[in-house]
Amino acid sequence: MPVTLLQLSRRDFLKRAALAGAAVALAPEIQAGLFRKSHDKNTFFFLSDTHIAGDAAQTYLNVNMTDHLAAVSRELAAWPVRPAAVIVNGDLAYLTGKPEDYVQFAKAITPVRALAPVHLSLGNHDERDNFWSAFPLDAVKQDSVPQKQIAVFDSPRANWFLLDSLQVTSKTPGEVGGAQLDWLAHELDARPQKPAIVLVHHNPQFPKPTTGLLDSDALLAVLAPRRQVKVLIFGHTHDWKIWQHESGIHLVNLPPTSYPFHEGRPAGWVRTTLADASMEIELRCLDVKHPEHAKPVGLVWRAA
């Protein structure tokens, strides 16, 4: 029963914003414009590693994670257009996925839900049952891979495949697993004509995974020969990096919305816009003076 947070109506947004209070406060001009902006069906926003704690005052590595997510939510709400979707790619919760972590996450993400549907993935600091319990009205029945938070959705220029690499809560490595790999192969084979973009929380590691995706080779064995697959997006490392696998698949490591592990690395979110045979991707840093902030990069698709 995966969870997708549907876009809120104006009425529901105002009701939830009132309940959340200062946690989701927006400037009056931004709030007034939320429902008047045009919709760009080829633009998508990405967040990762939000690490929200039930205590909104919780900090780690000198970062208040709730404040960071609130700042990003305000930036997304102020963006000139509404995206087709927002994807939060795992480690929504702080350490062990407590129920109160997801309550606080739901409050902080309220402004984003006024823009577009929000797709959620799980990481190693999430707890699947607590997560599902926090969003009972947003769960949809899905029996193809039991007990996995997975989804497929389409857009005009790409199909999107969201995987679940949570293996054991609070244990660093992750795994997709055989059943999910079989499901992914079947879903990709059913959609061969349109470019495919795949998301998973854990980073692929070669040749011997230790802290990332334990079945990295098995995942790439599914993706590489299916030429419609153009990009693999992941988080987990709390860093920002783009490179290309030997197969031609672009690998995109999303930055943390919360805290970077190493001084000088960025925290923030990512904007992408799809073209017919490419994608423009742009890092949006919370520190606008960061040297990598707001520098779009073009990724050209490998041949079909």
For residue 17, what pLDDT is reported? Answer: 80
Q: What is the pLDDT of residues 86-110, one digit of tens each?
A: 999 999 999 999 999 999 999 999 9
Among the ranges given (5-19, 129-143, 179-193), the one the predictor scored with the smallest mean pLDDT: 129-143
- pLDDT given at position 30: 76
Q: Output the domain CATH number for residue 79.
A: 3.60.21.10
- The pLDDT value recorded for residue 280 is 98
pLDDT, mean of residues 289-294: 98
Average pLDDT of the residues in 155-164 = 98
Q: What pLDDT shows up at residue 199? A: 98
pLDDT at residue 31, rounded to an integer: 78
Cα–Cα distance, 282 to 271 (Å, whole number): 5
pLDDT confidence of residue 141: 60
pLDDT, mean over the chain: 94
**pLDDT score, position 34:** 82
Q: Is pLDDT at 140 greater than 90 in this prediction? A: no
Query: How many structural domains compose the chain?
Result: 1
Residue 293 lies in domain: 4-300
Give the model's pLDDT for residue 258.
98
Given pLDDT bands bounded at 50, 70 and 90, which one contains residue 13?
confident
Q: What is the pLDDT of residues 15-48, one digit of tens each?
A: 888 877 656 677 777 777 788 899 999 999 999 9
Alpha-carbon torsion, ordered 56, 135, 50, 230, to 10 deg = -170
85 pLDDT exceeds 90?
A: yes
